[in-house]
Amino acid sequence: MFKKLLQVTTVSSAVFTMLCFSGNAMRKSSVQLDDEAARNTRAPVHSFAHMMERQRLQKEQNDRIRRQQQAIQIALAPAPAPAPAPAPVPKPAPAPAPTPKLTPQQIAQKRAAKRQRALQRKKVRAEKRAARKKAKGK
């Protein structure tokens, strides 16, 4: 992790400080962490104010952790690439050629072909239905 940090040329002192503190927090012994966890979970709530104080402390701790993680992500992120050159303005597309008018004979042929395809689909469906009924009847 620190090798990557060394590769990054601009790391602010605040980020570096946060990283050092997070490293110190990670070095805490597991016994200390277990004691803290036990103290936090088993401590009885004596009053509403006590409960609110615990919630506030927990929120502060979560915020601190989140800020540290964000600082690490920012520090490890690659340097931003230079802004790309503005894209050239596209030329307007030429107007499409007008569609040719269909003759009445061509229209009739299209309708007939469409009707044939519909009949073919209908036949295929009927065959499949018959095959299912036959398979179900066995």
Please, what sign has the CA dihedral across residues 50, 55, 60, 62?
positive
Q: Are residues 7 and 63 in the same domain?
A: yes
Question: Residues 73, 19: contact at Cβ < 8 Å?
Answer: no
Question: Residues 5, 19: contact at Cβ < 8 Å?
Answer: yes
Q: Are residues 64 and 123 in the same domain?
A: no
Domain that holds residue 26: 2-76
Q: Provide the pLDDT for residue 65.
A: 96
Q: How far apart are CA 33 and CA 2, in angstroms?
A: 24
Alpha helices in the chain (DSSP H): 2-7, 13-26, 30-42, 48-76, 104-137
Q: Domain for residue 123, yes or no?
A: yes
pTM here? 0.28
Q: Provide the pLDDT for residue 111.
A: 96
What is the pLDDT tens value at each position of the chain, 138 positions in all? 555 555 554 555 555 666 655 555 555 555 555 566 656 655 565 788 888 999 999 999 999 999 999 998 888 877 666 666 777 777 777 777 777 788 999 999 999 999 999 999 999 999 999 999 999 986
Q: Are residues 109 and 69 in the same domain?
A: no
Q: Are residues 113 and 71 in the same domain?
A: no
Q: Domain for residue 40, yes or no?
A: yes
